[in-house]
């Protein structure tokens, strides 16, 4: 048996339970079992994080550089924040840039790009009334050619996730996407709760960055927020950076969301994350970086300036969430939401993607398939 044993940890979290003085036995890049460690070398060993919304990092914005080389840089930048698998995210852009992003993802995956789980197309089929930072001139309803292009990309882009608004795509189009292996998430929408429910019935199974760029929860008009929280099997992403969503709203969502659909963390990171840049560009517009915020000239939030590890720390230290639950929100729950088998936990047969951290949640090293890929 050609196996290896990970560094031992005083505490090992497998995605469900904590183990004291433990390590991982690994074979062919997968977990065989949790085993005892007589002399632990680190404080904590936890599952690698899974980020379903990464627009850029390390000075690279996917929209501005839709190439396999850019994807490699983005993956590398997010390793410093604990992410072992991510969906490269393209914000609303021209058909040409969208095609280039699909081609880049296809090529990177074919070349075996480690850590790239797939592609997230956030737009352009959104509601301009809830555009956020998306360029309004590029937002448009879904047409047959768009549907055909997305379906053609599904077989070889890894996991393909599409964020759309029910106002910009029909229930029949949503059903066709899902039947073709594409996951549909609702976002950037001013839809009613009833319209959202019809989209969920058609196969939409996720909501993109809850509370942001969507119809809010009112006592007579529950909106997309209310529909998302009430739907047991619908997963919802959350940006926990202290700017996008107030702490009280996050706590209400975490307490109110029940069922197999969970609240998971996303970074929504832009090119500035992991770099010293003070300005970046998107669709020809300048995004300013200051005080932990990214904004357009008019003050509109334009993505986030965090990693998933930052979000875990925020949930644990600021919101008071139990550490195991904060870790699940960054690893197990997004993996479950996207159906990424073997990711987000360290049970038998899982991918041996894990993090070593100290007791203050500082990352010391990151491992993918049982091999060290980043170290502080």
The reported pLDDT for the residue numbered 231 is 97
Which one of 268, 305, 310, 353 is the catalytic residue? 268
Q: How many CB atoms lie within 10 A of CB 290?
A: 10
49-338 has CATH 3.30.420.60 classification: no
Helices (H), 257-355: 308-313, 323-330, 332-338
DSSP code, position 309: H
3-state SS class at 375: strand
pTM comes to 0.97
With contact defined as beta carbons under 8 Å apart, do 270 and 303 qualify?
A: yes
Could you give the CA distance from residue 280 to residue 289 in angstroms, rounded to a whole number?
8
Q: Where are the domains of the chain?
A: 3-46+347-375, 49-338
3-state SS class at 261: coil
Known active-site residue 14: no
The reported pLDDT for the residue numbered 258 is 84
The reported pLDDT for the residue numbered 1 is 52
Residue spans of the chain under pLDDT 70: 1
Q: Kindly tell me the sign of the dihedral angle through the C-alpha atoms of 345, 232, 168, 126.
A: negative
Please name the fold of domain 3-46+347-375: Urease, subunit C; domain 1 (2.30.40)
> Is 16 buried (19+), middle (13-18) or exposed (0-12) by CB count in 10 A?
exposed
Number of residues written out for the chain: 376
Tell me the backbone φ, ψ of residue 158, rounded to 5 degrees. 70, -140
């Amino acid at each position: 048996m050609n196996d290896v044993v990970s560094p031992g940890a005083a505490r090992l979290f497998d995605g469900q339970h904590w183990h004291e003085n433990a390590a991982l036995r690994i074979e062919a890049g997968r977990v065989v079992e949790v085993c005892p460690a007589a002399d632990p070398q680190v404080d904590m060993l936890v599952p690698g994080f899974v980020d379903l919304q990464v627009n850029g990092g390390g000075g690279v914005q996917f929209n501005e550089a839709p190439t396999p080389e850019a994807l490699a840089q983005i993956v590398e930048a997010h390793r410093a924040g604990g992410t072992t698998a991510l969906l490269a995210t393209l914000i609303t852009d021209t058909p040409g840039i969208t095609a280039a992003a699909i081609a880049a993802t296809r090529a990177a995956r074919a070349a075996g790009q480690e850590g790239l789980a797939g592609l997230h197309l956030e737009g352009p089929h959104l509601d301009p009334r809830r555009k956020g930072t998306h360029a309004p001139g590029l937002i448009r309803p879904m047409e047959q050619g768009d549907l055909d292009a997305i379906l053609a990309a599904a077989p070889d882009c890894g996991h393909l996730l599409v964020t759309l608004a029910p106002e910009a795509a029909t229930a029949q189009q949503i059903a066709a996407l899902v039947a073709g292996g594409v996951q549909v998430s609702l976002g950037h929408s001013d839809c009613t709760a009833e319209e959202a429910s019809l989209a969920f019935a058609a196969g939409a199974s996720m909501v993109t960055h809850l509370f942001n760029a969507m119809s809010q929860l009112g006592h007579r008009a529950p909106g997309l927020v209310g529909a998302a929280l009430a739907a047991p099997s619908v997963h919802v992403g959350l940006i926990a950076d202290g700017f996008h969503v107030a702490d009280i709203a996050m706590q209400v969502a975490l307490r109110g969301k029940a069922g197999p659909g969970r609240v998971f963390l996303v970074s929504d990171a832009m090119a500035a994350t992991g770099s010293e840049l003070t300005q970046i560009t998107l669709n020809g517009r300048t995004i300013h970086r200051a005080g932990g915020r990214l904004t357009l000239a008019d003050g509109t939030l334009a993505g986030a300036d965090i990693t998933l590890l930052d979000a875990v720390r925020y949930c644990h230290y600021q919101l008071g969430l139990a550490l195991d639950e904060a870790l699940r929100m960054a690893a197990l729950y997004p993996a479950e939401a996207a159906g990424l088998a073997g990711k987000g936990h360290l049970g038998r047969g899982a991918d041996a993607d894990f993090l070593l951290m100290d007791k203050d949640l500082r990352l010391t090293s990151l491992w993918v398939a049982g091999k060290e890929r980043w170290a502080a």
